Structures are given as C-alpha cells and as structure tokens.
Structure 1
Amino acid sequence: MFIKKYFEAFELNDTRTTKGRTITETDIVIHAGQSGDFFPHHMDEEWCKTQPFKKRIAHGTLIFTVAIGLTADMVNEVAMTYGYERLRFIKPVFINDTISVTITIKDKRDHKKPEYGLVTELVECFNQHKELVMVCEHILLVHKNSFS
C-alpha cells in the first residue's frame, strides 16, 4: 500500500500494532549464514543446555530485522528512514516464539532543512507472553506538506 503521510499528520502518542511472526529454526540458520554469526548461543543445542537459558536463542540482529520488517506494512512516499537509536535486547527470543511490535509516535521536531521534519517512533517488540524483548527508536525524515 502506498500513502502520503506528511510531517504535520503525525500525532504524538499515536500507536499501531503489527501482526505476529513466529521465529523458526530456519530463520536462525539462514540468518547465521547471511551474517556469519555462528556463535554456539544460536547454533549448538547441546552447548546451550549448559548455559543459563538452557536452549538456543535467536540472534538479536535477526529479531531487530524481523521486528522492523513487521512494521513495514505500507510505503509512505514522503518519508524515509533516517536511522535507529537506543537499540536494546531486553529478553532472549527462542525458536517458536512469536513476536509482534507496537509502534508509538514519541517525538516530532524540525529538521535543519525546513522542508523536512523528524519523527521518532518508539518500537517495542514483544513475545507471545507480552514480554518486552527488544526496544529501539526509529527516526523518520518526513516531508512537510507546506513544502509540497
């Protein structure tokens, strides 16, 4: 879906929630191959049994990637990603956990170029037990309607 949501249309504290997505062993194996991260925390079930979580955990970068992908349900033709800040992995995600994301508009401010504004989204990723597993801030560079 394509939309045009200008800077002025973003409202502080507006919230949306994504659908869920189950993290599979295949996700972990493919991500290990793509990233080169074959640490035993992700790949070695037997070794993990000797560790505090007792089972394999998904890569943090995998959870970040899937979580952000879940938020990409539409294309805003007048906005683009400016960056991410304050990324934290709060709890581990395991094989067969289902994650979903809540996005809240946290801040709006002017950009140095007057035709743009910056919108900060709080991105909170939860597992199926409603436990926070990852959090970050997504910053959008958004065109102002008054300059279109």
Structure 2
Amino acid sequence: MTIMEMFELGTARRSRGRTVTEADIVLHAGQSGDFYPHHMDAEFAKTLPGGQRIAHGTLILSIAVGLLAGEVDENAVSYGYDRVRFVKPVHIGDTITSRSAITATRPYPKRPDEFGIVEETVEVRNQRGEIVLAFVHCYLVSTHSKERQQ
C-alpha cells in the first residue's frame, strides 16, 4: 500500500475552541525564557497597535498542535513544521480553533518502501474567524502497519 493510498487528500479536521489566558503567557515565558515586553509588560503593550499584550507565536503554535492531537495514529510521528506564519496577534481572552486538511503525501526519500510523508495544512482562527496562524504539519508515517494493510 502506498502512502497516497493510506491518506486521502482533503481529509479535514476541526478542533474545539481554547481561550488563551494570562497564565498561558506567563507559563510560556517561564518555559521559553522569552520575557519580551510585547508579551509581559502591560504598560509597554498599551503602546502597541492592539493596545494589549500579545501571546507568543510559539505558544499559539503549541496550543494549535495540541488542539488537533486528540486522535493518535500510532504509525505516525511529527516530522516537523513548514511555512509557519504568525498572521495576526493573539491576545489574552482570544479563543482559537485549529482547522486542518491533508494537502500532500509523498514517499520518504531515505526509505521510500517503509515510510511516507503526510502534509497537513493548518489554519488557526480566532473567535472572529480571522486567521492568526498558518503552517504545514509534516508527519513521518510507516507504510507497514498491520492495521493499515487490513
């Protein structure tokens, strides 16, 4: 079975919403060491176009991936993220959802008989329906799963 036969292009998923909190931002700053004033200084943030603190892009990326992680495919592992774009700022109190669709499949060049790459294009939207983050999540997928061949 080829990787193209295992994953149907266009297969889509949508997550539930998740509201970004001040605690999320503070914890992420502590974990990442990124205490940039755009994220941490409420007075400085008043001078920004949105007038308030902005959540770290890497925090929103982490939340977005987690929102779609409900279904575990034991034959796939995250291979990385391509074309990550932080399109609009996310603020404390914004609620985000993740939407994804399989947009490409291909053999894994190093071991094409055993593995393939699946690309899932993800858009993250806020409560107003605006895209705040876009990226491609790449998965390394085994083509020799007993479950998949049945």
Q: TM-score, normalised by structure 2?
A: 0.90
SS of corresponding position for 2:60: helix
SS of corresponding position for 2:129: coil
In the TM superposition, residue 146 of structure 1 has moved relative to its aligned partner by: 7.7
SS of corresponding position for 2:98: strand
- List per-residue Cα deviations over 1:75-127 (Å, max 9, x = no partner): 11111111111000000000010000001101011112111111100011110
User: Aligned partners of 1:53 and 1:129: how far apart in 2?
Assistant: 15
Which moves more between the two structures, 43-52 or 57-66?
43-52
Structure 1 counterpart of 2:136: 137
In the TM superposition, residue 49 of structure 1 has moved relative to its aligned partner by: 1.0
User: Aligned partners of 2:123 and 2:27: how far apart in 1?
Assistant: 24
User: Aligned partners of 2:98 and 2:21: how far apart in 1?
Assistant: 17
Structure 1 counterpart of 2:126: 127
Match of 2:94 among 85, 94, 97: 97
Match of 2:107 among 104, 107, 110: 110
Amino acid across the alignment from 1:73? G
CA shift in 2, pair 1:11/1:62, >3 Å: same
How many corresponding residue pairs?
Answer: 143
> 4+ runs of 1 displaced by more than 6 Å?
none
| Unpaired runs of at least 5, structure 1 | 1-5
Amino acid across the alignment from 1:66? I
Structure 1 counterpart of 2:43: 46
User: Aligned partners of 1:138 and 1:69: how far apart in 2?
Assistant: 12
User: Aligned partners of 2:121 and 2:135: how far apart in 1?
Assistant: 6
| Unpaired runs of at least 5, structure 2 | none
SS of corresponding position for 1:75: coil
Structure 2 counterpart of 1:37: 34
- List per-residue Cα deviations over 1:38-86 (Å, max 9, x = no partner): 1110111111111222111100010000001111002111111111110
User: Aligned partners of 1:38 and 1:19: how far apart in 2?
Assistant: 29
Q: TM-score, normalised by structure 1?
A: 0.91
Structure 2 counterpart of 1:3: none
